[in-house]
Structure 1
Amino acid sequence: MIMIIIFLMVITTLNFIIASLITLINKKSICDSQKSSPFECGFNPMTYKRLPFSIHFFLIAVIFLIFDIEIIIILPMILTLKSSQLSNWLMTSTIFILILILGLYHEWINGMLNWTK
């Protein structure tokens, strides 16, 4: 039992010595302020966080995402045509496309599709 305790103490001491040597010899111990600061897409992260943001760009991005999701939902409709009843498929797809057209009309009326403001 004493041999195991002595063996564990020797291993712990060796681990401590090796870890201390690694931290002393480490090249990266010299800190560079530019390298230690976070990199955020080329912008300085220490500037004012609330810079003005183009709401028009945001609306266009949201509309793009909505139409992407609509396409993802419409594409499987073609595959389900073979395995479903024609009347149920036609009613479901007509209602869905009607909702899409009404949403597009609403965006058009509110001027969200004007690209040059």
Structure 2
Amino acid sequence: MSDYFGGYAVFVALLLVGGGIVGGGLAANRLLRPDRPTPEKLTTYECGVDPVGGHWAQSYVRYYVFAFLYVVFAVDAVFLFPWATIFAAPGYGMTTLAEMFVFLGFLATGLLYAAKKGVLSWV
């Protein structure tokens, strides 16, 4: 029974050592850094431009949809590369070809749905 908890003791010890290293680094940073706050330093930073207007800004959901579509098709590429490597393996050709067409069919259905909803139009 002591061997069972011995593995956890090593894990807890490593966790404490790692936490101590991170905490020590943060404490050293706090002690060694200069601390001279000015009103100019405490203002909101917006890409080097002085902030103008209120703090509330409205953004379009369309940009997030484009980002989501990009992620979907980037993941598509992640699945295509392993498929291309196993496609030439003996005994897997027709099975992997059929599976890939099913996968590409799901992607095409999603793309057609997005196009039908007007998501793909930029303006």
- With normalisation by structure 2, the TM-score equals 0.57
Is the CA contact (8 Å cut-off) linking 2:86 and 2:92 kept in structure 1? no
Match status 1:76 vs 2:78? no
Computed over aligned residues only, the root mean square deviation of the Cα atoms, in angstroms, reads: 2.9
Partner residue, 1:85: 92
Partner residue, 1:115: 122
Alpha-carbon distance between aligned partners in 2 of 1:114 and 1:27, rounded to the nearest angstrom: 49
List aligned pairs for 1:10-49, cutoff 5 A: 28=34, 30-36=36-42, 39=45, 41-42=47-48, 44=51, 48=55
Q: Which amino acid aligns with 2:116?
A: I
Match status 1:103 vs 2:110? yes
Which fold has the larger relative contact order, with Cα–Cα distance below 8 Å and residues 6 or more apart in sequence? 1
Partner residue, 2:6: none
* Unaligned ranges ≥5, structure 2: 1-30
Q: Which amino acid aligns with 1:62?
A: F
Q: Which amino acid aligns with 2:66?
A: I
Q: Which amino acid aligns with 1:78?
A: A
Post-superposition CA distance 1:62-98 (Å, at most 9, x none): 1112111111211221111123511211121111111
Post-superposition CA distance 1:25-70 (Å, at most 9, x none): x9945432333567564475xx52x421111212111111211111
**Percent of aligned pairs with the same residue?**
17
Structure 1 residues 79, 57: CA separation in 2 closer, same or farther (over 3 Å shift)?
same
Q: Which amino acid aligns with 2:75?
A: I
- The alignment covers a number of residue pairs equal to 89
Structure 1 residues 35, 89: CA separation in 2 closer, same or farther (over 3 Å shift)?
same
Structure 1 residues 101, 31: CA separation in 2 closer, same or farther (over 3 Å shift)?
closer
Cα deviation, residue 113, structure 1: 0.8
- With normalisation by structure 1, the TM-score equals 0.60
Structure 1 residues 80, 110: CA separation in 2 closer, same or farther (over 3 Å shift)?
same
